[in-house]
Amino acid sequence: MISIPVRYLYDHLYKDLDLEILAGEKGMDRAIRIARIQKPGLALAGFLDQLHRDRVQILGATELSYLETLDQDLGDERMDQLCSAGVSCLIIAKNLIAPESLVNLCELHQVPLLRSPEITSSLIRRVTVYLEDVLAPETSVHGCLVDVFGVGILLIGKSGIGKSECALGLVARGHRLVGDDVVVLRRKMQDAIFGSAENLIKYHMEIRGLGILNIRDLFGVSSIRKSKKIELVVELVEWHNDLKVERLGLEDNTYSMLGLEIPYLNIPVRPARDLTMIIEVAARNHLLRRMGFNAAKEFDKTLNERLASQTQDTGKPDLESME
């Protein structure tokens, strides 16, 4: 399971969110494992069931003003329960004043107590966006990722099949390279996978016969991009006679990555097949499908209508076409 220490969150966000550490600095290595934050209002009211470990707790005006209404002893007890429940850290919004006992308890239990001038709703949003990004499930694949007409296409296939050459061809036609050879995949926002280049080799490509190329220097800043959502996986395969290939485009095949199913095409490679152009057309076709037009299915429908109208009346009910 992916986790980050609170220190990471602080280091990455202290400028943006103007964070300060009020107490519990010794607990900066505590882990954050869940991207969703919690507002511990009900926990402070005594209901601890849903108070989750390893999550960031955000205290806004509601929580702090509620604490003020409690007796000193009861308030201290509730804050003690909150601090000892294994939460990752507490962040106070709107630069509100931290109750003295909370500061002491955070110090005692070594739970970082941070504070930001940001208002609660925006603090929640920004912390969540950050955590979703850093805690996203990640893997890497051997392939090339190119943005073709705004469609993120991941090219995969055996080593030497021509993925890089194909990607270079696309870049030369004005499309944008995200990564070559090693593409880092991250699942974000539940239903999307974003790919990016591995840091060391980003914007670089190796082409047999030419060596290592810097695409940004060769083609300019508009030829690259940092990351792109993957909408289509294209596998390049060697052409041989018993290869099973989709001929109609009626089947919707998918490729499984990080638990999501991404539309998938299998494209045979053979001399004189202009792969770059075929991939470009695949991108156009994907855009059409995304808008609800499927050429293969439209054609199939027209054909079936024609067949139905030409069918001779045999006197018997035609069970098959009635299905």
Partner 1 sequence: MVRVELVIPNKLGLHARAAGKLVEAASPFDCEIWLNKGQQRVNGKSIMGILTLAAARGETIVMEITGPDEERALKVLKKLVLSGFGEKA
Which chain residues interact with partner 1 by CB under 8 A? Answer: 140, 142, 159-160, 180-182, 198, 200-201, 204-206, 212
The structure tokens 């409690």 sit at 70
From the CB of 46, what's the least distance to partner 1, in Å?
43
CA distance 319 to 38: 59
CB of 194 to partner 1, least distance (A): 18
Closest CA relative to residue 66, chosen from 46, 86, 89, 91 = 46
Amino acid making up residue 238: E
Q: Which is nearer to partner 1, 226 or 301 (CB)?
A: 226
Query: Residue 16 Cβ, how far from partner 1 at the closest point, in Å?
Result: 28
Task: Assess whether 313 carries a catalytic annotation.
Answer: no
Give the residue with the Cβ less far from partner 1, 46 or 160.
160
Helix, strand, coil tally for the chain in percent (to 5): 35, 25, 35
Q: Which is nearer to partner 1, 67 or 205 (CB)?
A: 205
Question: Is 181 in the active site?
Answer: yes
CB distance 132 to 188 below 8 Å: yes
The number of CA neighbours under 13 Å toward the Cβ of 114 is 28
> Residue 177: CB partners within 8 Å, gap ≥ 6?
144, 145, 146, 147, 167, 170, 171, 203, 205, 215, 223, 224, 225
Q: Which is nearer to partner 1, 42 or 161 (CB)?
A: 161
Residue 216 C-beta: closest distance to partner 1, Å: 15
Report the SS3 class of residue 16.
coil
Residue 288 to residue 305: CA distance in whole angstroms: 23
Residue 286 annotated as catalytic = no
> Active-site residue 142, yes or no?
yes
- Tell the smallest beta-carbon distance from residue 119 to partner 1 (Å): 38
H or E, element range at 195: strand 192-197
Nearer Cβ to partner 1 (208/316): 208
d(CA 265, CA 267): 6
Nearer to partner 1, 30 or 204 (CB): 204
Cα separation, 28 vs 39, whole angstroms:
20
Instruction: Give the nearest distance from C-beta 211 to partner 1 in angstroms.
Output: 9
β-bridge partners, 237: 268
Backbone angles phi, psi at 253, to 5 degrees: -90, 150
Residues forming the active site:
142, 163, 181, 247
